């Protein structure tokens, strides 16, 4: 038996060109195994393939150095290393088959017992005469086999048979499910490539025939290298598809988290703006209430003093009505600024739309805007603060009036209002469609934010207030562009509220 001093002495080796092939394969196997482990060290499949590549590297190394050794002890040593690789490779294939078939967790202890058993068997037989003499071939030296090798070859065959039958049974069960077979083609290709690698590995065992006087170099080595390449292709091409998809999902989750953080920051900024706006509004509203109260009192006095046939009665009556509405609106805004509790009631949405439109008739006439209101029939009630809902409809309508007002003379100025019950969502919706300019994607994204406006004269408060009011009532308001015949036609605002629970 050779000691380490003998094995490491260069006079016992000679340069053999034929050994370059297994040397190259050894290095490729080692570096490919390290690379695969580095990509996903915690993945069971990657670790199993890493063990496969390291075992192949051991096989190639032992074979290369045994070709270079010209003395018996050194050739015998590297011949045993070859047999250690011959046994470990099928064990790693068994490991891979259990991981692929998702049985590894249940049989993990069994797999490691087999790994440990290989090394115990190897140590127990280390001192026994594996080989008797050296056989010289045209490509180099090879030790002659004895009976102890049969134990290793039998163990190797049993491990390989178990691995191949396990993966074959899994593949047959997989292709029996037509729906999954069509939907998961990458997984099917991976199984087919792994089985091909198993077959090629079985052919690599022909290298053992060199120890029995049969000259087949380098067939076994090439088969083992092709098995390595096939296994690596299955890993990179198909197994990592799921890994890449998971990376994409994680990237999407990170993006969503970043968007949430961004929205939270914007919300905090909006809250700051709203706080400033509330402080300013409180002062402005207080100043506005005084002249409005005076106008309302004078209009009420004149209204009570006039007869209905007076030529100015209708004008005074309209002033009284609108001043009353302005007082209610100012009081309502003061309640909003003071965070006073909203006064909700069951009401038909059509009533709130009609009230809002009645106050805007003169604006429609002055701006020469044609309009229609299509009231939905038998609408269920909504539970809202009617003043807030009317204010929302007023703001959206005023926004439409201002948008239509910028159109050139001769262009269509039309506003269509309609209400409808949507039973699928159990909600009542009010649609405001106008033929004004459409919004860009950026404008649609920010249009309901405070102080954002698409017009130089706009304040950016009205639509933001609409959004806040509807959110407070459990509803929503959104905007979308209208297209007809592939061209921009106008803009549609929708106010949607849940119906009263019966």
Residue with tokens 């590995």: 201
Residue with tokens 């909203």: 342
- Phi, psi for residue 143 in degrees, rounded to 5: -70, 150
pLDDT of residue 181: 55
pLDDT of residue 280: 63
| Mean pLDDT for the stretch of residues 189-204 | 84
pTM: 0.47
Looking at 138-152, 381-395, 469-483, which range is the least confident one?
Answer: 138-152
pLDDT of residue 105: 84
> Residue 84: CB partners within 8 Å, gap ≥ 6?
58, 62, 118, 122
Q: Which is higher by pLDDT, 66 or 144?
A: 66
454 in Cβ contact with 494 (< 8 Å): no
- What is the pLDDT confidence band of residue 486, given thresholds at 50, 70 and 90? confident
Percentage of residues in the chain having pLDDT higher than 70: 77
For 244-254, b/e burial (b = at least 16 CB within 10 A) is eeeeeeeeeee
pLDDT at 269 over 70: no
- What is the pLDDT confidence band of residue 123, given thresholds at 50, 70 and 90? confident
pLDDT at 438 over 90: no
- Phi, psi for residue 489 in degrees, rounded to 5: -115, -35
pLDDT of residue 41: 67
pLDDT of residue 431: 94
| Mean pLDDT for the stretch of residues 46-70 | 85
**Pairing state of beta strands 427-434 and 487-498?**
antiparallel
| Mean pLDDT for the stretch of residues 407-423 | 88
pLDDT of residue 500: 80
- What is the pLDDT confidence band of residue 405, given thresholds at 50, 70 and 90? confident
pLDDT at 96 over 70: yes
In terms of average pLDDT, the best of 181-195, 291-305, 321-335, 357-371 is: 357-371
Indicate the domain borders of the chain.
13-249, 263-340, 342-498
Architecture of domain 342-498: 2-Layer Sandwich (3.30)
Helix (H, G, I), strand (E, B) or coil at 381: coil
- How far does Cα 502 stand from its chain's mean position? 40
Query: What ranges in 359-423 are assigned the alpha helix state H?
Result: 361-366, 386-405
pLDDT of residue 149: 67
- What is the pLDDT confidence band of residue 356, given thresholds at 50, 70 and 90? confident
pLDDT at 272 over 90: no
- First-to-last alpha carbon distance for the chain, in angstroms, is 94
**If you average pLDDT over every residue of the chain, what do you get?**
78
88 in Cβ contact with 29 (< 8 Å): no
pLDDT of residue 418: 93
Count of CB atoms situated within 10 Å of the CB of 473 = 20
* Most distant pair of Cα atoms in the chain: their distance: 136
Q: Which of the following CATH numbers is that of domain 13-249: 1.10.3080.10, 1.10.630.10, 1.20.1070.10, 3.40.50.10680?
A: 1.20.1070.10
pLDDT of residue 128: 58
Looking at 3-17, 69-83, 384-398, 418-432, which range is the least confident one?
Answer: 3-17
pLDDT of residue 373: 92
Percentage of residues in the chain having pLDDT higher than 90: 7
- Phi, psi for residue 447 in degrees, rounded to 5: -65, -25
Task: Give whole-number Cα distances, 327 to 286, 319, 389, in Å.
Answer: 11, 12, 16
DSSP state letter for 19: G
Q: How far apart are CA 217 and CA 140, in angstroms?
A: 10
pLDDT at 298 over 60: yes
In terms of average pLDDT, the best of 36-50, 155-169, 296-310 is: 155-169
At 235-246, the pLDDT tens digits run: 777 655 555 555
pLDDT at 420 over 90: yes
Number of helices (H) and strands (E) in the chain: give both, helices first.
Answer: 16, 9
Q: Which is higher by pLDDT, 350 or 133?
A: 350
pLDDT at 124 over 70: no
At 32-53, the pLDDT tens digits run: 888 878 777 677 888 888 888 9
Burial class of 431 by CB neighbour count within 10 A (0 to 12, 13 to 18, 19+): middle
For 103-142, b/e burial (b = at least 16 CB within 10 A) is ebeebeeebeebeeebeeebeebeeeebbeebbebebbbb
Q: Which two tokens stand for residue 299?
A: 């209009």
């Amino acid at each position: 038996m050779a000691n380490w001093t003998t094995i490491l002495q260069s006079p016992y080796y000679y340069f053999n060109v034929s050994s370059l092939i297994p040397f190259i394969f050894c290095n490729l196997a080692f570096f490919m195994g390290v690379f695969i482990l580095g990509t996903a060290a915690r993945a069971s499949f990657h670790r199993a393939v890493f063990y496969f590549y390291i075992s192949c590297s051991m096989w190639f190394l032992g074979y290369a150095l045994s070709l270079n050794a010209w003395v018996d002890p050194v050739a015998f040593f590297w011949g045993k290393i070859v047999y250690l690789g011959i046994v470990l490779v099928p064990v790693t294939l068994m490991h891979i088959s259990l991981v692929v078939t998702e049985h590894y967790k249940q049989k993990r202890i069994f797999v490691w017992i087999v790994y440990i058993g290989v090394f115990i068997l190897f140590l127990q037989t280390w001192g026994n005469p594996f080989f008797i003499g050296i056989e010289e071939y045209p490509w180099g030296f090879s030790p002659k086999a004895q009976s102890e090798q049969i134990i290793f070859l039998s163990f190797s065959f049993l491990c390989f048979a178990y691995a191949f039958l396990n993966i074959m049974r899994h593949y047959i069960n997989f292709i029996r499910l037509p729906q999954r077979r069509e939907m998961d083609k990458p997984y099917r290709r991976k199984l087919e490539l792994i089985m091909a690698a198993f077959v090629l590995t079985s052919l690599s065992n022909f290298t053992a025939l060199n120890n029995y006087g049969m000259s087949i170099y380098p067939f076994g080595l090439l088969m083992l290298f092709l098995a390595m390449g096939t296994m690596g292709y299955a890993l990179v091409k198909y197994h990592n598809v799921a890994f890449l998809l998971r990376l994409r999902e994680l990237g999407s989750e990170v993006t969503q988290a970043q968007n949430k953080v961004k929205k939270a920051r914007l919300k905090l900024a909006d809250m700051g703006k709203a706080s400033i706006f509330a402080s300013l509004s409180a002062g402005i509203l207080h100043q506005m209430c005084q002249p409005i109260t005076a106008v309302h009192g004078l209009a009420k006095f004149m209204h009570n003093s006039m007869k209905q046939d007076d030529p100015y009665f209708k004008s005074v009556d309209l002033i009284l009505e609108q001043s009353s509405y302005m007082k209610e609106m100012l009081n309502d805004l003061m309640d909003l600024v003071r965070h006073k509790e909203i006064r909700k009631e069951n009401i038909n949405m059509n009533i709130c739309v009609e009230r809002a439109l009645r106050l805007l008739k003169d604006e429609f006439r002055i701006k020469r805007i044609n309009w229609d209101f299509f009231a939905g029939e038998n609408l269920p009630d909504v539970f809202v603060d009617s003043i807030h809902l009317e204010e929302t409809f007023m703001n959206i309508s005023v926004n439409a009036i201002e948008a239509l007002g910028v159109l050139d003379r001769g262009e269509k100025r039309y506003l269509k209002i309609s209400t409808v019950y949507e039973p699928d969502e159990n909600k009542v919706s009010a649609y405001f469609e106008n033929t004004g300019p459409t919004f860009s994607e950026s404008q649609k994204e920010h249009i309901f934010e405070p102080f954002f406006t698409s017009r130089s004269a706009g304040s950016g408060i009205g639509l933001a207030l609409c959004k806040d009011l509807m959110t407070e009532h459990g509803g929503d308001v959104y905007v979308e562009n209208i297209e007809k015949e592939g061209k921009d036609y106008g803009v549609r605002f929708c106010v949607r509220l849940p119906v009263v629970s019966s």
